[in-house]
Amino acid sequence: MHTEESSRITVSDVVAAVDDADIDTDTDTVRDALEPVTNDGIVTQAAIETTVSDVSKLLATAETRIELAGDAYDDIARAAEPVEDVPAVQARLDGFSERLSAIESRIPELRPELSIPEDVETRPVAIYEFAVHVREIVVTAQEAIEAAEDFSFDAEQFESWLTRPDRRYDEFAEDLEVVVDATDELAVTVDALAGDPMSMTAIVDPAVQWADATMRTQVLLLLLTDLRAELADLRTLADRTDAHVRTGLADRINRAEEQVTDLNSALGTHATPAWRDRFGDDIAAFDSTLNRFDPPVDWGAVDRTLAEHQPDGSDKE
C-alpha cells in the first residue's frame, strides 16, 4: 500500500483523468464528489479511510433508526389493539404497516460493499468512481434515516391521537375546515359561471372552468362522506373509552354538504350543450374513478386523481 507521502494525486489530476476517460460528468460534480477523500486538494489514504469509517457509522445509524421505527410500530399496534376494528384506526394502522415495510425493504441497501480498492489513492479514475460510490451510499443512508425518523415521529403522533379525544376532534375539525374553505372558494367560480355573460369575461375558457368545478364538487362530496364516516368512528372510540363526544360537527358537515350540492346543481343548470359535448365524457370517467373510493378515504390519492383528470387550462395546484 502506498503511503500518503508517495500519493500526490490532486483534484485536478482526477478531473483530467475523468475527462480523458469520457465519463459523462462535469468538473464541478467531480470536485464535489472528491471532497471527502481529499485533504487540501490532494487525495490521501487517511482521508479515504476516515470517510469509510464515517460512512460505516452512518450506515449503522440508519439500521438503528429502522429498528426503532419497527419498535414504534409495535407500540402503536399494541395501543390500538382494543379498537383496531374501528375503520379509522385500521386504516391508519394499515398505512403505517405499508410505510414500515417500505422502510425495512431498504435494509439490504444499507449493507453495501465498502472496501477500499487496492492502490485507489494512486489511480485517478478509480478514485472518482470510489468517491461516487461512497456518495451514493451516503445519500441512501440519509434517506433511510429521514424516512425512519419521520415514521417514528408520526407513530408517536398517532399514539397521541389514540389516547387523547381532544386531539382526535381537533384534527377532525381542521380537516372539515379545509373542505369548508375549498367549498367557499369553489362558490366564487360557480357564481362567475352562473352570472351574466359580462361577468364571465375574466374567465379565459368557461368550459374548462366548468368542467374543473364540476369535478371539484364531486371531490368535496366524497370528502364530506368520508368525514361523516370518520365522525361515526370517533363516536365509537368515545363509547369504547368513555370519552366525551364533541357536538356541532355533524351540523357543520350537513351545512357544507348542502352548499356543495347547491353548487353542483348550479353547475348543471348553467352548463351549455357545447360544454357538455366537450367535457362530458371526461367528467363521467372521473366520477367513475371516484366511485372506487370508500371511507376511510386517502385524501392524497383523491388529490392525485383529480390532478390526473383535470382539463388542461384549469387552475391545477
pLDDT for 317 beyond 70: no
Q: How crowded is residue 105: how many other Cβ atoms within 10 Å of its Cβ?
A: 9
pLDDT score at 196: 54
pLDDT score at 22: 83
DSSP letter string, 148-164: HHHHHHHHHHHHHHHH-
The CA distance from 276 to 211, in Å, is 8
**pLDDT tens column, 163-218:** 999 999 999 999 999 999 999 999 999 998 887 555 555 567 899 999 999 999 99
The position carrying cell 390532478 is 307
pLDDT for 240 beyond 70: yes
Q: Is the pLDDT higher at 21 or at 99?
A: 99
Q: State mean pLDDT over 259-264.
A: 97
Average pLDDT score, the chain: 92
CA distances from 266 to 21, 189, 192, 224 (A): 67, 11, 11, 19
Q: In this structure, what DSSP letter does residue 239 have?
A: H
pTM recorded for the entire structure: 0.86
Burial of 304 (0-12, 13-18, 19+ CB in 10 A): exposed
CB 206 within 8 A of CB 193: yes
pLDDT for 273 beyond 80: yes
CA distances from 278 to 110, 202, 275, 316, 317 (A): 52, 21, 5, 19, 23
Q: State mean pLDDT over 6-24.
A: 85
**pLDDT tens column, 123-150:** 899 999 999 999 999 999 999 999 999 9
pLDDT for 6 beyond 50: no
E-strand spans in the chain?
Answer: 38-39, 42-43
pLDDT score at 209: 94
Grid cell, residue 102, equals: 417500505
In the chain, what is the greatest distance between 2 CA atoms, to the nearest angstrom?
Answer: 85
**pLDDT tens column, 16-66:** 999 888 888 899 999 999 999 999 999 998 999 999 999 999 999 999 999
Q: Which of 40, 43, 48, 51 is nearest to 17 (CA)?
A: 43
